[in-house]
Every structure is written in structure tokens, then in C-alpha cells.
């Protein structure tokens, strides 16, 4: 079995505990660094991913690993559902999401809850759609997490997952590796309280089963009509599947 990549390489704590600690540590600078490091392109990728649900017009959406809520805010803007619920294991990230919800007056549309993707605090078949942006890479047990997402979806409901993937073509692969391995950890060290978070980022992307492997895992837990749509030469991918 391949080695599990964790934020702090701490043998005493599970990956989940370390991931929650890490996001608690970086929650205050997370939004700024996200947009800064991606030169704002993350906003375009989020829009593209949410547009995958446009035809479905979901009424009730679950945003797993919602963090500071940016994917859910985009879904609210584009899809205008009745309600979105965001779950995350990091209280610090959810605190920022709650501040943004209050500031934007969206309390009746978007609510957040502390919760684990591998044991979602919801009944079977509750949601019309489930979204996850940059979350699955951090799951402790990816297959269990995907199976639970499948469980809470209604029959015919759709899951949309946005995640970094590994570009294969020259010179994108080389540029991407250089940027991710040297530039982002450097920027992270300068601006974030937790420099380890931004070296964990490329390590976790490298270890993540992207592309066909991820699609195969979605198939395995029961999703139908699964697809991968690479963005920006494969730097990111949108994965979709239907229950």
C-alpha cells in the first residue's frame, strides 16, 4: 500500500486530525492565498464545475469540505437552489464561512455544520446534488468518503468533484511541478502561519489517485455515468457521477 501523506507526519495523530489542525491554522489567510496563488483562476474553475449542475437545477445541495464556503457561494449564485448545507471538519474554516454568510445576508440559504465526509451527519437520499472542491485529496479514506456522498444523494442526484490533477504534457507538467514544488510553498511560508500546509499541498496532489483512477473509484462505490473533464491542460479536473 502507498504511504499516506499527512500534513505534519505525526505518528500520534490521524490524517483527519492533522488535516483539521492544519486548516484551523491557515483559515484566516486561506481565501487570500487561494486567489493569490492561483492568480484568481480558481474562481473560473469553481464556476465551470458548478455549471455542471445547471441542467439538473438541484433544490437541496450538500457542499462537502466546504471550508470557507467559496464553492457553495458560487453554487448559490449560479444555481439558485432553495438551500445549501456545507460540512467540514475544521471549525476554524467554518467560522470564516459563517462570517461571510452573515456579511452577505445569506443565512436562510446557506448553513454550515461540523461534520466528517466519511460519516456524513445526514440521512440516506437527502440531497439533489453533492459538491466537493479541493476536498477529496484530504480525505483519510477516499473510498469511504465517496461511498458516503453516494449514500446521501437522492436517486438520480449528481456529485460534482473539483480537484487538482497531474498534467502530463510538456512543458505544462514541468512548469506546474516547478510552481507547485517551489513557488507555492515559498508564498505559503511568507504569508501563512503554517508553512507546512503549503508543502503538504504538492505532496498530497502527487499522492492523489487522479484521472482514470478516481473515476474508477467513483464507479466502484456505485456512481453511474462517471466522467472526468480536465481543465487547464489537466492542472485541475472536474469529476461527475450520477446515483
Ligand X SMILES: C[S@@+](CC[C@H](N)C(=O)[O-])C[C@H]1O[C@@H](n2cnc3c(N)ncnc32)[C@H](O)[C@@H]1O
Q: Any residues with CB less than 8 A from the CB of 141 and at least 6 apart, and which? A: 118
The residue to which cell 460519516 is assigned: 119
Using CB under 6 A as the criterion, what x/- string covers residues 103-122 for binding ligand X? Answer: -------------xxx----
- Please, which residue, 200 or 223, has the CB nearer to ligand X? 200
Sign of CA dihedral 96, 99, 103, 107: positive
For residue 184, state whether it binds ligand X (rule: CB under 6 A).
Answer: no
* Cβ proximity to ligand X, 52 vs 116, nearer residue: 116
Taking the complex as a whole, the smallest distance from the CB of residue 170 to ligand X amounts, in Å, to: 28
Neighbours of 234 (CB within 10 A): 19
Least distance in angstroms from the C-beta of 145 to ligand X: 6
Q: Is 66 in the site for ligand X (CB under 6 A)?
A: yes
Nearer to ligand X, 68 or 237 (CB): 68
Q: Which of 45, 71, 176, 208 binds ligand X (CB under 6 A)?
A: 71
Using CB under 6 A, which of 58, 81, 135, 185 touches ligand X?
135
Strand 224-231 with 236-242, pairing = antiparallel
Stretch that binds ligand X, among 59-67, 169-177, 189-197, 231-239 (CB under 6 A): 59-67
Query: Of 68-76, 77-85, 188-196, 220-228, which part binds ligand X (CB under 6 A)?
Result: 68-76
67 with 87: CB under 8 angstroms? Answer: no
Cα-based torsion angle of the residue sequence 25, 28, 31, 32 in order, rounded to the nearest 10 degrees: -110
Concatenate the DSSP letters of all residues of 158-194 into one string: EEEEEEE----STTHHHHHHHIIIIIHHHHHHHH-S-
CB of residue 37 to ligand X, shortest distance in Å: 11
Which residue among 21, 52, 70, 194 contacts ligand X (CB under 6 A)? Answer: 70
Long-range contacts of 223-229 (CB under 8 A, 24+ apart): 223/146, 223/150, 223/159, 229/52
- The rounded distance, in Å, linking the Cα atoms of 168 and 132 is 24
Of 133, 142, 205, 235, which lies in the binding site for ligand X, with binding defined by CB under 6 A?
Answer: 133
Shortest spacing between CB 16 and ligand X, in angstroms:
6
How many residues bind ligand X (CB under 6 A)? The answer is 23
Pairing of strands 83-88, 236-242: unpaired
Q: Of 15-23, 150-158, 175-183, 213-221, which segment contacts ligand X by CB under 6 A? A: 15-23
Nearest distance from residue 178's CB to ligand X, in Å?
21
Question: What is the binding site for ligand X (CB under 6 A)?
Answer: 16, 19-20, 23, 65-68, 70-71, 87-90, 93, 116-118, 133-135, 138-139
Amino acid at each position: 500500500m502507498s504511504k499516506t501523506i499527512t500534513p505534519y507526519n505525526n505518528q500520534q495523530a490521524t490524517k483527519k486530525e492533522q488535516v483539521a489542525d492544519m486548516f484551523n491554522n491557515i483559515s484566516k489567510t486561506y481565501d487570500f492565498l487561494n486567489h493569490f496563488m492561483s492568480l484568481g483562476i480558481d474562481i473560473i474553475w469553481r464556476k465551470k464545475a458548478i455549471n455542471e449542475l445547471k441542467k439538473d437545477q438541484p433544490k437541496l445541495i450538500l457542499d462537502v469540505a466546504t471550508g470557507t464556503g467559496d464553492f457553495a457561494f458560487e453554487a448559490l449564485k449560479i444555481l439558485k437552489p432553495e438551500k445549501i448545507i456545507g460540512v467540514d471538519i475544521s471549525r476554524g474554516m467554518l467560522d470564516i464561512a459563517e462570517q461571510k454568510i452573515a456579511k452577505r445576508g445569506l443565512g436562510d440559504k446557506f448553513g454550515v455544520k461540523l461534520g466528517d465526509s466519511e460519516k456524513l451527519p445526514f440521512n440516506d437520499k437527502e440531497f439533489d446534488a453533492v459538491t466537493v472542491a479541493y476536498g477529496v485529496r484530504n480525505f483519510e479514506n477516499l473510498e469511504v468518503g465517496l461511498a458516503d456522498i453516494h449514500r446521501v444523494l437522492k436517486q438520480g442526484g449528481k456529485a460534482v468533484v473539483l480537484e487538482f490533477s497531474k498534467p502530463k504534457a510538456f512543458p505544462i507538467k514541468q512548469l506546474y511541478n516547478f510552481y507547485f514544488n517551489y513557488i507555492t510553498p515559498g508564498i505559503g511560508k511568507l504569508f501563512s502561519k503554517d508553512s507546512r500546509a503549503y508543502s503538504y499541498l504538492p505532496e498530497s496532489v502527487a499522492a492523489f489517485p487522479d484521472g482514470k483512477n478516481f473515476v474508477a473509484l467513483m464507479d466502484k462505490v456505485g456512481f453511474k455515468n462517471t466522467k472526468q473533464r480536465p481543465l487547464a491542460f489537466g492542472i485541475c479536473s472536474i469529476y461527475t457521477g450520477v446515483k
